[in-house]
Amino acid sequence: MHWVVRRIPRGISRSANHRGEFNVLFSKQRGTLGCSDPRTFVLDEKDTARSSRNLVGQNATRSFAFSRTFARDFGTSARKEPPEPRGIPFFGTMLSLVMAGGAKKLHEYVDRRHRELGPVFREKIGPLWIVFVNSPDEFRRIFLRLEGPTPQNFVPEAWRLYNEMRAQRRGLLFMNGDEWLHFRRILNKMMLLPDSTKLMCAPCQEAAENLARKWTDHSLAGSTVPNLESQLYRWSIETMLATLIGSRWRDCERQMRSEAEHLALMLHRIFEYSATLSMMPAKLAMRLRLPVWTKFVRTADTILARLHSLVPEMIRLDSDGLLQMMMNNGIRDDDAVRIVVDFIIAASDTTAISMQWALLLLSGRPELQDQLFYDIKDLPPEEILQHPLLKGVWREALRLHPIAPFLSRYLLADATIGDYFVSKENLIVMSIYSSGRDGNDFPVPNEFQPERWIRTKDGSYQGVKNSYATLPFAMGVRSCIGRKLAETQMSLTLAQLIKNFKIECENRDSVKMILHLVSVPSKPIQLKLIGREV
């Protein structure tokens, strides 16, 4: 599963044992390029502008505003403790979690606890006391007021040990403090401002057309798409490479697609090994040289060596894509290499898995597919990106199946959350899966209804009472840097597939959501495509 834990350095000291043991059950930190540095479309324009100004503005202004916020939020004498579930001596509630399905079903277990105990409760999971929060208003408050100006990422133990062992300097997702702030400010200007989609539109459209051409053969043969997940991994990596390179993509397209195919295989493996290591003490696996640790290290070595060779070749192309823009904005070659390497790694699985969920859900709404087909069949890519119903498809898919079902923070100081006193020693976990399926904010919450995201004349959504209840790209200063790329990629690819095919699924009703570092289908999706008669 995927818990995004960001640690705040000032005034907090936590043992290595806490960090390691927490990682045993619930770890993974990647960007969500397509999710998590996670990768927020639900921010209104004022919140987006505020977050951008906080990063681009001067440190003095930010620090002054931040200190005033702390004076309000942490100056509390409240001592009402959050409710806790009853456990049994020694084991606590761990047996209840195991009986509920273990880590793979943690999202459902926590959802039931919220129904029993309310929007805020506390439970001891392993060595840590965790405060679970299911409140859109508290989400905003935590992200925009309590997390601090430079939230620090919690690195999974396996990756932390690997980086230390290999003395690896990693990219944006592994940076913290002033170093992270410096590069994040530069990248915000290129990747999150409104005109950034101009950079992304052409490569995303080309990758979408290429995928549709590949899948035409399966459509003509009347067969399901083989190895759907692997094919979407390649599509996601190919899109990222094309965006980085720009207009010279066609000059090296064949070579890069070959690289994407090899990388997709390796990255799929590394995430499987990471998932296995997250269920055990990674340090022990390293000391005992367990096979999964050995495979993890060998695969990570292969991926990083290949990418550290590939990215300098991309730099030498001297093209006009995202990579060249980074160089033009003062990022040095060595820094650009490590940032881009982690972009490619992060982009591979999150967008690929999100697309699987969107296609699965669409397969159950043939009339919606037809409506979208007639709406978008003659639209250019720039207008497709603005189509409200199409945007509603991936928004709804990410509401029902968020890649990161839990977003987590450590606070700088004691605070009051939902009228309860919360010590800074507790981990704060925002239950995004539960909030996204709350009937108070989403009528008929368990149904796939992209129409709910269409705006009315007064600017509100038709079927969404509080859009902050779903945060697939997180929120605040360290929200997903790849949000706009993911949105562009999914919109254009969904449109291209809808233009060419009727989408069906042979095992739609038997596919469930489980947690395996991220939210994944419980079994391979058997997607079937029927060619449209145009």
Which letter, b or e, does each residue of 101-132 get, where b requires 16 or more Cβ atoms within 10 Å of its Cβ?
A: eebbbbbbbbbebbeebebbbbbebeebebbb
Rounded to an integer, what is the distance from CA 430 to the centroid of its chain?
14
The interaxial angle of helices 483-500 and 388-400, nearest 10 deg, is 110
Measure the CA–CA gap between 49 and 42, rounded to whole angstroms.
13
156 contacts 274 by C-beta, under 8 angstroms: yes
Instruction: Answer positive or negative: Cα dihedral of 72, 78, 80, 81.
Output: positive
What 3-state DSSP class applies to 430? strand
Structure tokens at 317: 């192309």
CA 130 to CA 113: how far, in whole Å? 13
The percent of the chain in helix, strand and coil, each rounded to the nearest 5, is 55, 10, 30
β-strand pairing of 427-431 with 406-409: antiparallel
> How far, in whole angstroms, is CA 54 from its chain's centroid?
22
Pick from 484, 407, 425, 390: nearest CA to 194: 484
Query: Which residue from 356, 463, 354, 431 is spatially nearest to 398, judged by alpha carbons?
Result: 354
For residue 71, what are the contacts with CB-CB under 8 A and spacing of at least 6?
Answer: none
DSSP letters, 250-308, are: GGGHHHHHHHHHHHHHHHHHHHHHHHHHTTS-HHHHHHTT-HHHHHHHHHHHHHHHHHH
CA distance 441 to 468: 9
Residue 205: how many CA atoms within 13 Å on its side-chain side? 15
What is the DSSP secondary structure assignment for residue 92, as one 8-state letter?
Answer: B
CB atoms inside a 10 Å sphere around CB 161:
21
**Residue pair 119/135 in contact by the 8 Å Cβ criterion:** yes
Do 232 and 214 touch, CB atoms closer than 8 A?
Answer: no
d(CA 493, CA 501): 12
447 CB-near residues (< 8 Å, 6+ apart) = none
| Alpha-carbon distances of 413 from 54, 155, 426, rounded to whole Å | 21, 21, 10
| CA-CA-CA-CA torsion sign (201, 202, 207, 211) | positive
480 assigned binding-site residue? yes
* C-alpha span between 260 and 310 (Å, rounded): 11
> Which residue ranges are tagged as binding site?
480
Residue ranges of the annotated binding site for heme are 480
